[in-house]
Structure 1
């Protein structure tokens, strides 16, 4: 559940009704709560869909993980591979 002050701020600055502001905040928080393993698998599948080879996909994913709002731990290519393939 989103913080009341944050909901009010988003509602006021965007003109959204309070219930919509709450929904948007909850969606954003859920995005950033996604476990690292789920994120890695989802992004790898997405990158493969567009023809990205594993070596490049692993570089992209590692770079993205480092830039997330709450940065994930640095993962090696081997760790990324293990998340994806077990």
Structure 2
């Protein structure tokens, strides 16, 4: 699990009961969901950059794609320029 407190046991029981998962599996799913929503804008940009590089895209295309992805992301991300995106990835 990640470095966060153990999920609320009532929530674990509820997820286990409604899904048929064991309590340990339910706790792991809850932890995974919380980790997904804890991702920062910077972590998202770096993760998506690596993903797009894996599929052979060039940086000019990658940074445009990431900029578009941020507009539809699950968190409120500020509008970032290509230069700001490059700084996140390369420092």
TM-score by length of 2: 0.75
- Measured on the aligned residues, the alpha-carbon RMSD in Å equals 1.9
Moved segments of 4+, more than 3 Å: 3-6
For residues 1-86 of structure 1, the aligned pairs below 5 Å read: 1-86=6-91
Deviations for 1:56-83, whole angstroms, at most 9, x for unmatched residues?
Answer: 2112222322333323222121110111
- Looking at structure 2, the residues matched to 60 and 13 of structure 1 have their Cα atoms a distance apart, in angstroms, of 38
TM (normalized to structure 1)? Answer: 0.79
Structure 1: gaps of 5 or more residues: none
Which structure has the highest helix share of the two?
Answer: 1
| Distance in 1 (alpha carbons) for counterparts of 2:64 and 2:46 | 14
Unpaired segments of 5 or more residues in structure 2? 1-5
- Please state whether the residue corresponding to 1:71 is helix, strand or coil: coil
